[in-house]
Structure 1
Amino acid sequence: MLKEFKNFILRGNVLDLAVGVIIGAAFTALVKSLVDNLINPLIGLFVQSTALAHLEFTVGKAKFTYGAFLNDAINFVITAFVIFILIKLINRLFPKKETTEEEKINEELDTLREIRDLLKK
């Protein structure tokens, strides 16, 4: 069981996922800093507030901090845009190998043969 766990951990997918999560967390912190320190002060010039996250309104006893929501929305849009650009760049640098019609037919034939062999057993 320990050997199986070691093989599972050392497979590429798990390690790639771990690296992705770590880089994603660092990237999120970077985008948050960009929004908090550069973009929010620019927006604050137009909304007459020093920090976008502090914008709020109250209805009765309920306090709605719409500025915090706007701050998170800006973080999301910037993060999504940068990931979009990175994916486009990676796809351009490492284009996918297009499979020919013959290769597709061979794959289907192999699959059908495997099914046939399993049914024989």
Structure 2
Amino acid sequence: MAGVGRCCGNFCKEFKQFALRGNVIDLAIGIIIGTAFTAVVQSFVDDIITPPFGLILGGVDFVNLTAKMKNFVYKDQPPVVIRYGKFIQTLISLFIMAFALFFLITSVNKLHQLSLRKKQTEETIQLETSDEVKILCEIRDLLAKQSASEK
């Protein structure tokens, strides 16, 4: 029984180390923000985008766009309803999310490229400074040897 307690203790310790690493916490935050963003986009589509389209189409509510199919198997059951209006709203949400993610990722990539360029220029400047310092050190050493040999 002591082996089980030790094993559980090791598991708990390893899980705690895993859970407290920055990547797991960042992932959890990303999921929470993504869920909230999804709700905002869904509301944007449902409440702002599709109502004007429905008005243009003659006062149609997209949620109520359905196709009813007669239930051939069970005649006493209600018809099968296909809610294609809700599906259209979901597709619009998908496209908005895809565009938002596309712009976010391209912006992050541009920032990353800018930081790489800045880092490369700093390294270049640092290398140039290092070469100059080396030459000045060599000159200093030569002058020191020359003055030491003159004494």
TM norm structure 1: 0.73
Q: CA deviation at 1:59?
A: 2.2
Instruction: Specify which of 18, 21, 31 is matched with residue 21 of structure 1.
Output: 31
Percent of residue pairs identical? 43
Unaligned runs of 5+ in 1: 99-121
The DSSP-based 3-state class of the residue aligned with 1:63 is strand
Q: Deviations over 1:69-118 (max 9, x none)?
A: 101111111111101100111111122859xxxxxxxxxxxxxxxxxxxx
2:61 maps to amino acid: A
Residue 56 of structure 1 corresponds to 66
1:69 maps to amino acid: F
Runs of 4+ in structure 1 off by over 6 angstroms are none
Name whichever of 41-50 and 30-39 sits farther off. 41-50
RMSD over aligned CA atoms reads 1.7
Question: Which one has a bigger Cα radius of gyration?
Answer: 2
Distance, in Å, in 2 between the alignment partners of 1:5 and 1:63 is 47
Distance, in Å, in 1 between the alignment partners of 2:47 and 2:60 is 11
The DSSP-based 3-state class of the residue aligned with 2:68 is strand
1:33 maps to amino acid: S
Residue 57 of structure 2 corresponds to 47
Instruction: Specify which of 56, 65, 72 is matched with residue 90 of structure 2.
Output: 72
TM norm structure 2: 0.60
Is 2:27 the counterpart of 1:9? no
Unaligned runs of 5+ in 2: 1-9, 71-78, 118-151
Distance, in Å, in 2 between the alignment partners of 1:35 and 1:4 is 44
Q: CA deviation at 1:62?
A: 2.0
